[in-house]
Amino acid sequence: MELTGTPGPHRSDQPGPRPHQVVPIPGSADHDSELFLVPDKGLDVVVTLRLDVRTGALTTLGRVRLRDGSGPRHIALAADGSAAYTIDELACTISVFTVAAAGRLTLQAVHSALDPDDVRDFRGAEVVLSPDGRRLLVSLRSGAGDREPGGPGEDYVAEFAVAPGGSLTPCGWIRTGGIRPRFMAWHDGALYVTHERTHTVTRLRPDPATGTFATPTQVAATGSPVCLVFATDPTTTGRGAPQPAASDPNHP
Which range, of 64-68, 80-84, 119-123, 247-251, averages the lowest pLDDT? 247-251
Give me the pLDDT at residue 235, please: 72
Give yes or no for residue 25 having a pLDDT over 80: yes
In degrees, to the nearest 5, what angle opens at C-alpha 36 toward C-alphas 103 and 136?
80
- Please, which pLDDT band fits residue 251 given cuts at 50, 70 and 90? very low
Neighbour-count burial of 202, counting CB atoms closer than 10 A to its CB (0-12 exposed, 13-18 middle, 19+ buried): buried
Answer yes or no: are the C-beta atoms of 228 and 219 closer than 8 Å.
Answer: no
Q: What is the pLDDT of residues 49-87, one digit of tens each?
A: 999 999 999 999 999 999 999 999 999 999 999 999 999
Give me the pLDDT at residue 129, please: 98
Mean pLDDT of 201-215: 94
- Please, which pLDDT band fits residue 231 given cuts at 50, 70 and 90? confident
Give yes or no for residue 210 having a pLDDT over 70: yes
Q: What is the pLDDT of residues 145-162, one digit of tens each?
A: 888 999 999 999 999 999
pTM surpassing 0.85?
A: yes
